[in-house]
């Protein structure tokens, strides 16, 4: 069976979602309120990533291998396609750091879940870099050209 960029895109998003769920489950053992806050914040932060990066991509509506982020950009304010700025990169980096760093205080108490969490995140990022971004037509994205 031939695996396409889209398959890799869907798989990488599912792995990131599974990592967030594992993080949420580890927080849940201590606090329902913090779990709900983490999941809500993760959704908002994910939309900031999409706005900061995906909404500037010329391929977002017709050849986005992640599918969902490209489609979600239609609900966000439009942005001009072009070079990414330092602010765009911060709009990706800061939300992702928050999403992945927050549950560490709880994951550290369960080595197995900590390892699974980071294995999912790392494999997803490798998938994105080498299988999703490779072949993308976004000439402005350093990942598709690197």
Check residues 87 and 145 and name the one with the higher pLDDT: 87
Is position 79 within any domain?
yes
Is position 142 within any domain?
no
Is position 18 within any domain?
yes
What is the C-alpha separation between 4 and 31, in angstroms, rounded? 40
Check residues 35 and 144 and name the one with the higher pLDDT: 35
Is position 72 within any domain?
yes
List of E strands, the chain: none
Flag whether pLDDT at 60 surpasses 90: no
CA distances from 17 to 11, 73, 84, 117 (A): 10, 19, 25, 10
pLDDT value of residue 2: 78
pLDDT value of residue 135: 76
What is the C-alpha separation between 44 and 94, in angstroms, rounded? 12
Q: Give tens-digit pLDDT for 5-51.
A: 889 899 999 999 999 999 999 999 999 999 999 999 999 999 999 99
Is position 140 within any domain?
no
Flag whether pLDDT at 144 surpasses 80: no
Q: Give tens-digit pLDDT for 64-111.
A: 888 888 889 889 998 999 899 999 999 999 999 999 999 999 999 999
Is position 144 within any domain?
no
pLDDT value of residue 1: 63
**Cβ 140 vs Cβ 81: under 8 Å:** yes
The tokens for 72 are 């979600």
Report pTM.
0.90
Flag whether pLDDT at 146 surpasses 60: no
Find the angle CA(81)-CA(11)-CA(110) to the nearest 5 degrees: 115
Is position 145 within any domain?
no
Check residues 100 and 140 and name the one with the higher pLDDT: 100
Handedness of CA 70, 73, 78, 82 (dihedral sign): negative
CA 136 to chain CA mean position, Å:
17
What value does the CA radius of gyration of the chain take, rounded to a whole number of Å? 16
* Structural domain count, the chain: 1
Is position 88 within any domain?
yes
The tokens for 66 are 């992640």
The tokens for 83 are 């070079």
Full residue range of the structural domain in which residue 17 is found: 5-135
């Amino acid at each position: 069976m031939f695996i396409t960029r889209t398959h890799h895109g869907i798989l990488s998003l599912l792995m990131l979602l599974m990592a967030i769920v594992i993080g949420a489950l580890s927080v849940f053992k201590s606090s329902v309120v913090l779990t709900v806050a983490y999941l809500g914040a993760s959704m908002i932060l994910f939309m900031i990533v999409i706005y900061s990066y995906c909404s500037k991509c010329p391929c977002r509506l017709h050849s986005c291998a992640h599918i969902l982020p490209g489609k979600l950009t239609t609900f966000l304010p439009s942005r001009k396609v072009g070079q990414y700025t330092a602010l765009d990169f911060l709009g990706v980096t800061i939300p992702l750091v928050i999403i992945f760093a927050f549950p560490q205080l709880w994951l550290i108490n369960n080595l197995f879940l900590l390892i699974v969490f980071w294995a999912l995140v790392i494999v997803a990022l490798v998938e994105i870099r080498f299988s999703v971004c490779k072949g993308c037509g976004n000439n402005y994205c350093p990942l598709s050209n690197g």
